[in-house]
Amino acid sequence: MTVAAVTGADGFVGRALMAALPKQGCQPRALVRSGSVDEGSAVGDIGPDTEWGEALSGVDTVIHCAARVHVMKDDAADPLAEFRRVNTEGTRRLAQQAVQIGVKRLVFVSTIKVNGESTPYTSDSGVKFTSLDTPNPGDPYAVSKWEAECCLQEIAAGSSLEVVIVRPPLVYGPGVGGNFCSLIDIVRRGVPLPFGLVDNRRSLVALPNLVDLLTVCAIHPDAAGETFLVSDDDDLSTPELIRRLARALGRDARLLPVPPALLRLAGKLSGNSDKVERLIGSLQVDIRPTCERLDWRPPVTVDEGLRSAVSDA
């Protein structure tokens, strides 16, 4: 049986992954910073000096979920340096010690932000990100993840370690936090939202769909050396997302017909342009190569994923 270690096993993705791995015939091992995950290993803070040796003993595959994640208001004196310490140098250290111990494969949970922040969309056509695009990371988090990918590719080229990279867009599901949780709460309370005239498209990925792909990447022979994009394969406009959330909550969607140009102006004047753009701009990913290479399809629909997310929010 494949022994699969999960870093960040007590996190949003890690917990779901730990529960799903046995269904793929894998024996999961929890790797956490600290705490009391059953039968897990505490490795301390992740960085360039982390000692992974004992935790990786007997492990065949590592799925690396742990990271310093993107935050809206970062109070670090040098955010890029801090992201690099954890996400880039911490990942490099993990891969180097995995090679020394004889781990066969490392699956790295990266981010679609490596590709960029947005894709063009009109009612007639749209452009989707692919894994072959020239990377265009736009903030310290994305830069650190791209640099981590480069480190992994370099280490894999000089060793027998198989590296698999997965770049998800926004992940939602039971226990989701951040802006998505806030949106659920706003829709539940029936607060009117000014997105009735927005015509965009955004790719999302339900937690069960991301976890299912990660478990496949842990064992599929054709995953080695590849970079995969993932989504629900059902891109939604912001108003359609709100309508479907409202339906899942048993509420009416309240959408006001505010022109997107006014929303962008309000964002600029308030210093929230990035936040507004994430709500009214487009970001689409092409998962056809992922599906074809791995003979994979997202097992959960958007509506199933939203119902699961709101039931726990």
Whether 36 is in a domain gets the answer: yes
From 291, 146, 148, select the one nearest 212 (Cα to Cα).
Answer: 291
- 3-state DSSP assignment of residue 82: helix
Residues 146 and 152 sit within 8 Å (Cβ to Cβ)? no
pTM metric for this prediction? 0.94
229 assigned to some structural domain: yes
Residue 1, class by beta-carbon neighbours within 10 Å (0-12 exposed, 13-18 middle, 19+ buried)? exposed
Is 188 inside a domain boundary? Answer: no
Asked whether residue 187 is assigned to any structural domain, the reply reads no
- Among 166, 147, 50, 155, residue whose Cα is nearest residue 108: 166
Q: Identify whether 45 is part of a domain.
A: yes
Which pLDDT belongs to residue 38? 56
Q: Catalytic residue among 52, 121, 141, 172, which?
A: 141
Residue 42, pLDDT score: 84
Q: What is the pLDDT of residue 40?
A: 67
Burial of 309 (0-12, 13-18, 19+ CB in 10 A): buried
The answer to whether 160 and 199 have CB atoms below 8 angstroms apart is: no
Output the domain CATH number for residue 59.
Answer: 3.40.50.720
How confident is the model at residue 93, as a pLDDT?
97
Q: How many structural domains is the chain composed of?
A: 1
292 Cβ partners below 8 Å, 6+ apart? Answer: none
**Helices in the chain by DSSP H: which ranges?**
12-20, 53-56, 79-83, 90-101, 140-157, 178-188, 207-219, 238-249, 260-270, 273-280, 288-294, 302-311
Predicted pLDDT of residue 48: 95
Q: Give the integer Cα–Cα distance in Å for 238 and 235.
A: 10
User: Domain range for residue 127?
Assistant: 2-173+204-233+284-299
Residues (pLDDT < 70) of the chain are 35-40, 70-74, 313
Q: Is 141 a catalytic residue?
A: yes
Alpha-carbon distance of 22 to 274, in angstroms, equals 40
Residue 46, CA distances (Å) to 8, 71, 110 in order: 10, 18, 16
Q: 113, 274 in Cβ contact below 8 A?
A: no
Residue 110 lies in a domain: yes
Q: Looking at the domain assignment, is residue 209 inside a domain?
A: yes
- Residue 23 covered by a domain: yes
- Give the separation between CA 33 and CA 45, rounded to whole angstroms: 6
